[in-house]
């Protein structure tokens, strides 16, 4: 593991600082998306996030009747597995585990598609149970999508739906 200097860690190649939005279903209702005061719902995280943000969902979280539509460049990462980001200062860096937990977050009973991808987005480290539509969907996008280590069961239509993705 590399020790990271006391600097703003930035993505390659543009040098834009990484911005994290924390989500924990067990947190207080008035969360602000920080490590200490995570958002409680996926909708709150979605409303307060911006393109290219990293939405980091804490281990053990469970979201019933919720779904999320990602914005361009966002990473939707569930704690419980290791995640890595490329930085200018330190190269490939493993993200720290916010809670130290090893249980993947759960999205259950989403009213439609549980996760809707956007251009150059990523979803990794979730259990998706019984979505009203698809587990993960991506269509008509101009950019890459990454789906990894996602467990989907009992999807009403498809577990993963990809259509017309114009990647690099």
Give the side-chain half-sphere CA count within 13 A for 57: 28
pLDDT 10s digit of each residue in the chain, 168 long? 344 333 455 665 567 788 999 999 999 998 999 999 999 999 999 999 999 999 999 999 999 999 999 999 999 999 999 999 888 878 888 999 999 999 999 999 999 999 999 999 999 999 999 999 999 999 999 888 999 999 999 998 899 999 998 865
The pair of structure tokens assigned to 58 is 């804490």
- How confident is the model at residue 165, as a pLDDT? 86
Q: Of all helices (H) and strands (E), which one includes residue 44? A: helix 42-48
């Amino acid at each position: 593991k590399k020790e990271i200097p006391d600097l703003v860690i930035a993505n390659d190649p543009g040098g834009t600082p990484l911005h994290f939005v924390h989500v924990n279903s067990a947190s207080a209702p008035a969360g602000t998306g920080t490590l200490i005061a995570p958002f409680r719902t996926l909708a709150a995280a979605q409303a307060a996030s911006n393109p290219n943000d990293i939405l980091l969902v804490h281990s053990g979280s469970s979201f019933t009747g919720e779904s999320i539509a990602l914005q361009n460049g966002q990473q939707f990462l569930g704690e419980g597995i290791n995640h890595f980001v490329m930085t200018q200062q330190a190269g490939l860096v493993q993200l720290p585990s916010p809670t130290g937990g090893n249980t993947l977050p759960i999205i259950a009973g989403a009213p439609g598609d549980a996760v809707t991808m956007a251009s150059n987005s990523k979803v990794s480290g979730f259990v998706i149970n019984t979505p009203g539509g698809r587990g993960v969907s991506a269509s008509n996008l101009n950019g890459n999508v990454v789906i990894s280590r996602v467990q989907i069961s009992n999807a009403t239509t498809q577990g993963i739906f990809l259509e017309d993705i114009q990647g690099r």
